[in-house]
Each structure stands twice: as structure tokens, then as C-alpha cells.
Amino acid sequence: PPNLLSINSPPPVLYVKGEILEEDQWAVAVVGTRGATVYGKEAARWIAGDLARNRVTVVSGLARGIDSQAHWAALEAGGRTIAVLGSGIDIVYPPESRRLAEAILERGALVTEYPLGTPPEAGNFPPRNRIISGLALGVVIVEAGERSGALITADYALEQGREVFAVPGNVFRKKSRGTNALIQQGAKPVLSVEDILEELNLTMISQQAEVRAVVPENETESALLEYITSEPIHVDELGRLSGLPIAQVTSTLALMELKGMVRQVGGMHYVLARESGVEYTID
């Protein structure tokens, strides 16, 4: 990956399972404590999900807590994610992350510098963190105590010239002392995903992707796009408004969803993909 070429001590070999795409150079790492609080987990999902919805790849370490929440949120938002392992590519650690690892292979990759069969020894993880930060343009520390390994990732990010962000935490909680200290030391506080996108000049990537996503390729798509907005609309209503047969509407919508133009939000209701950051529940 091109981002890794610019760091000190890049891995001589990188084992990859899955696929790393050119677009993965637009990546942000989201990391934090394994023993995350409810607040930390919610913040990780909020940030990673919004990054993914803005076409930014989420990088993390597959660990319990913040890392796993970040990976899942990116996937659930329809985005891409990369997990950097502290073991051989054939060993998923922790074991409960196997289902997550399989899901990542559908839209992302597992990567490691360690050969096949390497166990997840404690000494593997600190150097692993330089790859997490190296793959990304910036690193977000969501929740971390004073001795959290996530702070090692922040240190590597600074050495590599990456931007460091931190989510403000409860001043009374030990698990927020690391992130709050980072902000005191100059890390940029994250109050919304726009703070990250603007600092890293990623807003244009998202905007260009949105424009491409809604350019119709034929008259049927054009007809449907006249009526699809940020408000969920049922396929039957689209058929009535457009005058198209329902079979043609549903088949076209399926193709448009594959192209990233629209999104189904439940019960055969659709919205524009670029407007689908809000989660709907359709009975």
C-alpha cells in the first residue's frame, strides 16, 4: 500500500488476505482500549460508521472493544475496513473475532507482517501499531487510559507525520485519561466526523463519490431518481409516480443499489445512498 512507503521501518513483507484497493489510500485509523465503556463503543461506532459513509476506509486492529466496534460499524455502513493483525494471517486473535474477520474479507482485508503460524504474542502488538497508523492519513483515539496500547499508535502516528485525533472523554473516568491527555498535548478533538474530513482534506473525496454515485446511466434510472430523496419511498409508490412496471422498478433499483446510488432501508423502501447516514426502521 502506498501510504506505508512513507513511514520509517516499513514492513519488508506484508501478508494480505482479502483485497486492498487503490481507494484504501483514503483511510483513517480508529483505535482504543480493549476494555471499552458503553460511551467508548458508541463513539467508535459513530465515528467509524460516518467515515465509511463518507467513502473513507477504516483501519483498526481487530481487538476487543474499540477496534471491533469500529470494524463492524464500517461494514454495517457499507464501507471498507482493514484489520492489522499481531499474529500470522492464519491466526485470528482474539478467537471471538473470527466472524468479524470473515466479514472483513468481503469488503476489505486482513494484513500482517508476521509469517504464517506466528502466535499472537504480547511483543507483536506494539510494532504492529506502526502499520495501523502507517496505512492511514490520520489516527483517531476513541477511548484510552494512561497506559493503553492505543497511545503507542498515537506516538507512531506523530513520528510518521500523521494527524492525531482524540474523542473527549469523561474527566472522572480512568479510561478517558489517555485521550484527554492527548487533547491537552495538541491532538485535535473530534466532535463530529467533519472535524476529521476537513483536517485531512477528505471532504472532496466524499463529494466526488456522491456526485458519481447519482449520475444516471439510462432513462429508467433517471426516471426513478426524480422521486428518490432522503425520505424513504416504497417501490410501489415509485412505480406509480414513474409509470414504470414494478418488475422494471425493482430490477433497476437492485442494480442502482449495487452501484451505490440508492440504499434499501427496509420493507422495500429506498433512499439516496448519499442521504442514508440516518438509520430508518420501516415496519
Distance, first Cα to last Cα, the chain: 43
Confidence of residue 159 (pLDDT cuts 50, 70, 90): very high
The Cα 85–Cα 112 span in angstroms is: 5
Confidence of residue 215 (pLDDT cuts 50, 70, 90): low
pLDDT at 280 over 60: no
Tell me: the pLDDT tens digits for 78-114?
999 999 999 999 999 999 999 999 999 999 999 999 9
Higher pLDDT, 275 or 119: 119
pLDDT at 247 over 80: yes
Confidence of residue 262 (pLDDT cuts 50, 70, 90): confident
* Cβ–Cβ < 8 Å for 179, 165: no
The residues near 29 (Cβ < 8 Å, ≥ 6 apart) are 58, 59, 60, 132, 133, 135, 136, 138, 139, 140, 153, 157
> Structure pTM?
0.74
What integer best gives the mean pLDDT of the chain?
91
pLDDT at 214 over 80: no
pLDDT at 206 over 70: no
Tell me: the pLDDT tens digits for 162-203?
999 999 999 999 999 999 999 999 999 999 999 999 999 987
Over its C-alpha atoms, the chain yields an Rg (Å, rounded) of 20
pLDDT at 217 over 80: no
Please give the domain boundaries of the chain with CATH numbers for all domains.
2-206 (3.40.50.450), 214-275 (1.10.10.10)
Higher pLDDT, 205 or 11: 11
Tell me: the pLDDT tens digits for 218-239?
899 999 999 998 789 999 999 9
pLDDT at residue 267, rounded to an integer: 83
HEC states along the chain?
CHHHHHCCCCCCCCEEEECCCHHHHCEEEEECCCCCCHHHHHHHHHHHHHHHHCCCEEEECCCCCHHHHHHHHHHHCCCCEEEECCCCCCCCCCHHHHHHHHHHCCCEEEEECCCCCCCCCHHHHHHHHHHHHHCCCEEEECCCCCCCCHHHHHHHHHHCCCEEEECCCCCCCHHHHHHHHHHHCCCEECCCHHHHHHHCCCHHHHHHHHHHHCCCCCHHHHHHHCCCCCCCEEHHHHHHHHCCCHHHHHHHHHHHHHCCCEEEEECCEEEEHHHCCCCCCCC
